[in-house]
Amino acid sequence: MNAPTTTMLAYIPSPPQGVWELGPFPLRAYALCIIAGIVVAVWWGNRRWIARGGQDGEVLDVAIWAVPFGLLGGRVYHVITDWKTYFGADAPKEPLDALRIWDGGLGIWGAVALGAVGAWIGARRRGIRLPAFGDAIAPPILLAQAIGRLGNYFNQELYGRETTLPWGLKIYERANEAGYADPGLIDGKSNGVVVAIVQPTFLYELLWNVLIVVLLVVVDRRFRIGHGRLFALYIAGYCLGRFFIEMLRDDRAAVANDIAGIRPNLFTAALVFACAIVYFVTAPKGREQGLEMYHPERAAELEEQGVAGYVDDWYDEDFEDADAAQRDTEPVADADTLDALDAEADAMATPESDAESEPGAEGQTVVESVDEAAVEDTESSPAGDSQAESADADDTEAVDAEAVETEASEPEVEESAAVETEADETETDEPVVESAAVNEPEAEAADAEPTDVEPADVEPTDVEPTDAENTPEKRR
């Protein structure tokens, strides 16, 4: 009994055709892929441009100039590097076929070069700086290239050498209505005859482009690249992959127009790669801030309209991190230092209350308050006024003598008041007045000399007039 066999799918089949007739209009897969790539590039590029501070719709305005220039440049580069296909006695196509861009054949180098000229014209008309604009549309352009490579798949072009790898690409023979058969026949249909199993270089380039797109987006978000440096990375990344993929190619364009045995695209890839790296290294670092992606005239116009442009919070986060690190390194004050600072702040805010709370000045403050109270009582008393008016020259001399004795006894009064204050700080000024009254007998002894003042005229609760005259104001 024979064991069952399993047939495994091997190799990638090519599409049976690349053109579908819709009445009088041919629907070409290559053209659809190019158009789809352009639409995706404009849509995504517009979103990226707005996120970088640009205005909505400006990418489309620039694309109106860049796309026609890019298509023209790509076709010109293709014809120059593959001129033997259209010119010469052995050329498989006619010279006029060089204008049939819908049949395929676009050189990416020419498309980028001349497309950049068209983009510069469109950007200049809108007041946009081209390097900043290139950074915004670099990933979308490369993604559009990846989508466009599917058109090569439908056209059975840009394939590599023959291979036995399981992902090899089948190239079929195609025939048209006239009976002409050829693998490169764009308008024909497959007859099922496999011509070769080749390296799917279109697929390699498609996957490489998608990988570079992802890397560009990650690098742009992580490092905030600007001033055309992201566009330079796109060019360098594409050229790096294209250089190695180009060495796998074996189609007519790769072998018929070589220079000293080397394909022209290898020279182009190496030269453009070196230029892109030099620009990336020498261009300004960072990203355009505010309205720097515009020329001064356009920036002033947008500023008048209240447009802020691009504001990157990445730098604010760096500043916040630096401030946090500085706060962490600053020494923390201890409790005693904080208490001292609080006391100093309170003293500056309420100096009068602090002065009353100082122990050393409390006694002096109490004495001064007692003397001031006595002066106020004396000035407000009618008896004091009548005594001052009735005093003669003898009374004046007696007052001077009493002042001398009072000065001698003043330290005792202040010491007694200080003792009373320290004994009970929470009491009011009344005990202080009582402590000062303890020394009244001494003051009354000094006032014993004959005067016209009668003791009966002084109220019991008031300080005697002679004490009022002994206050610091009278002594001075």
Q: Which residues are annotated as a binding site?
A: 149
The sign one gets for the Cα dihedral 68, 71, 73, 79 is: negative
In order of 73, 126, 372, 391, the CA distances from 63 in angstroms are 14, 12, 93, 112
**Burial label, 379 (beta-carbon count in 10 A; 0-12, 13-18, 19+):** exposed
DSSP 137-162: HHHHHHHHHHHHHHHHHHHT-S-B-B
Other C-beta atoms closer than 10 Å to the C-beta of 393 total 7
């992959």: which residue's tokens? Answer: 241
Lay out the sheet containing 189-198: strands in order across: 181-182, 169-175, 189-198
**Cα torsion 219, 220, 221, 223: sign:** positive
Let me know: does 112 contact 69? Beta carbons within 8 Å. no
Total Cβ atoms within 10 A of residue 192: 8
Residues 72 and 448: their CA atoms lie apart, in Å, by: 128
Task: Report how many helices (DSSP H) and strands (DSSP E) the chain contains, helices first.
Answer: 19, 5
- Please name which of 281, 279, 220, 276 lies closest in space to residue 243, comparing C-alpha atoms: 276
DSSP 194-246: EEEEE--HHHHHHHHHHHHHHHHHHHHHHH---TTHHHHHHHHHHHHHHHHHH
Q: Are 242 and 145 within 8 A, CB to CB?
A: no
